[in-house]
Chain A
């Protein structure tokens, strides 16, 4: 084992092009006559490939996580509503018409915002390792919103801001919810979700003009909330 590790400096120098001409000739000759040295060098090269693969897989696992987020963000009811439309077009139209009428006549934008507020399941908590959001997410999942919020406070990331925004609204603190959600920048994976929720909060406060702007943006951007934004716009415009 010590011998293999001892070779690493030499392999590294070869890799970096730091061997002198003579050392390089000796190195290449040794690869021919010393089969153990050759095996060690081949193993070193395989480990190098393995390192690259490891970090590629790491990036891929981030895309898989993003996949889950995108799938979670899709409004759960959209598919069933579409099926309902196809299966019972006339009856569904009547029912939706009645629902629409109720919303319009009551003009209750708070109820409308709560109705369309997407369910947020929280981040997955791994059993194998401890993540920085695990305690906050465990509290969130058992609806201990206040503890979850306290645990997120020291973390200054877009993820933390997003969940703080969701929690604040669910605790009826719309000012705080707006403050957190508006911090989320466009490059964040939470941007569309945060914007959509921000629009709903504005709607619940009666700020129809600004909320309409946000729902229209969701439609233009073709986000996962574009269909639901169209629905909301139909009801409030």
Chain B
């Protein structure tokens, strides 16, 4: 993806502040490294730009090739973008052997095939009523021991903003404690560690509150 600046002669990917900038398809290795650096620094804007750039083309391609609906294709491409993001920040993707578009479309393809398979399987189970009442009870008992994703999400949202930031940086963006301390202006990595520990305790308390509400 090249961005040409008509006000000046520079060719600077993702950096121009000027108005007349044009995207041209085909992301080069050097530009991928810029995206990589931005994502690792916690900047998510390249993801939105990539999504906007390729979404419609992916929908068209995947529905023609695999027969996915528009909603299934959108879902698959969103998952592809998220996996790309995770692979970059976890250091699993450091070099591109193909264009970024091909990479994203490949992940998107697998995501779509899984979605199609899952949707078909659900229809099959629904039709045959394979789960008996007894099995449901055992399953529910097991499930009740653990917190649901919804409960965890609700509990996180009850936490103060700084705790949410610490947890996001540590678990989602995979920052180490030193980087968290730098990012959030803490004294040092030990301060970040104790902050995270306090946040985990608060999260546990919120989860307990929520599960008690649920039981009542």
User: Taking CB as reference atom, which chain A residue is nearest B74?
Assistant: A67
Chain B residues 50-88 with CB under 8 Å of chain A are: 51-52, 55-56, 74, 78-79, 81-82, 85-86
Asked if B3 lies at the interface with its beta carbon under 8 angstroms from chain A, I say yes
The answer to whether A221 touches B22, judged by C-beta atoms less than 8 angstroms apart, is: yes
Contact B208 A1 (CB under 8 A): yes
A195 and B201 form a contact (CB under 8 A): no
Q: How many residues of B contact A (CB 8 A)?
A: 50
Identity of the chain B residue whose Cβ is nearest the Cβ of A54 in the assembled complex: B153
On whether the beta carbons of B17 and A43 are closer than 8 Å, the reply is: no
Q: Which of B1-41 contact A (CB under 8 A)?
A: 3, 6, 14, 16-24
Q: Is A51 an interface residue (CB 8 A)?
A: yes
Whether A8 contacts B197 by the Cβ 8 Å rule is yes
**B169: nearest residue on chain A (CB-CB)?**
A55
Q: Are A63 and B193 CB-contacts (below 8 A) given A70-B52, A187-B45?
A: no
Q: Which of A192-237 contact B (CB under 8 A)?
A: 195, 198, 213-214, 217, 220-221
CB atoms of A56 and B82 under 8 A apart: yes
**Interface range, A side:** 35 or more
Interchain nearest-CB distance for B188 vs A (Å):
14
- Which of A39, A48, A186, A189 interacts with B21 by CB under 8 Å? A186
A198 touches B78 (CB 8 A): no
Chain B contacts of A52 at CB under 8 A? Answer: 171-172
Interface-facing stretch out of B96-104, B113-121, B127-135, B144-152: B144-152
Q: Which A residues touch B177, using CB under 8 A?
A: 16
Measured in the bound complex, the distance between the Cα atoms of B85 and A217 in whole Å is: 29
CB distance from A7 to the nearest CB of B (A): 9
Residue numbers in B under 8 Å from A48 (CB-CB): 171
| Complex: A70 Cα to B56 Cα, angstroms | 10
* Residues on the B chain within 8 Å of A170, using CB: none
Question: Does the CB pair B20–A213 fall under 8 Å?
Answer: yes
A46 at the A/B interface (Cβ < 8 Å)?
yes
Q: Is the CB of B172 within 8 A of A55?
A: yes
**B81, A217: Cβ atoms under 8 Å?**
no
In the complex, what residue of chain B is closest to A56 when comparing beta carbons?
Answer: B82
Q: Is A60 a contact of B193 with CB atoms below 8 Å?
A: no
Within the complex, which residue of A51, A63, A198 is in contact with B51, where a contact is CB–CB below 8 Å? A63
* Option from A11, A16, A46, A66 in Cβ contact (under 8 Å) with B147: A46
Cβ 8 A contact of B22, one of A5, A9, A220: A220
Q: Could you say which of A9, A60, A187 contacts B14, with CB atoms under 8 Å apart?
A: A187
Q: Which of B81, B197, B203 contacts A63 (CB 8 A)?
A: B81
Find out whether the CB atom of B201 lies under 8 angstroms from the CB atom of A70.
no
Q: Is the CB of B48 within 8 A of A54?
A: no
Q: Given contacts A5-B205, A59-B44, are A70 and B153 in contact (CB under 8 A)?
A: no
Are A54 and B78 closer than 8 Å at their CB atoms?
no
Verify B172–A60 contact, CB threshold 8 A: no
In the bound complex, do residue A47 and residue B168 qualify as a contact, i.e. CB atoms below 8 Å apart?
no
- Asked if residues B201 and A8 are in contact (CB atoms below 8 Å), the reply is yes
Output the nearest chain A residue to B57 by Cβ-Cβ distance: A222
Known: A59-B44, A60-B82, A62-B48. A12 touches B207 (CB 8 A): no
Chain B residues within 8 Å of A144, by CB: none
Say whether B204 faces chain A, with CB atoms less than 8 Å apart. Answer: yes
Beta-carbon contacts under 8 Å, B173-216 to A: 177, 193, 196-197, 200-201, 203-205, 207-208
Q: Can you list 29 residue pairs at the A/B interface with Cβ under 8 Å?
A: A5-B205, A8-B197, A8-B201, A12-B193, A44-B200, A46-B146, A50-B152, A51-B167, A51-B203, A55-B171, A56-B82, A56-B86, A56-B172, A57-B153, A59-B44, A59-B47, A59-B172, A63-B47, A63-B51, A63-B78, A64-B78, A66-B51, A66-B52, A70-B56, A182-B19, A186-B3, A186-B21, A217-B21, A220-B24
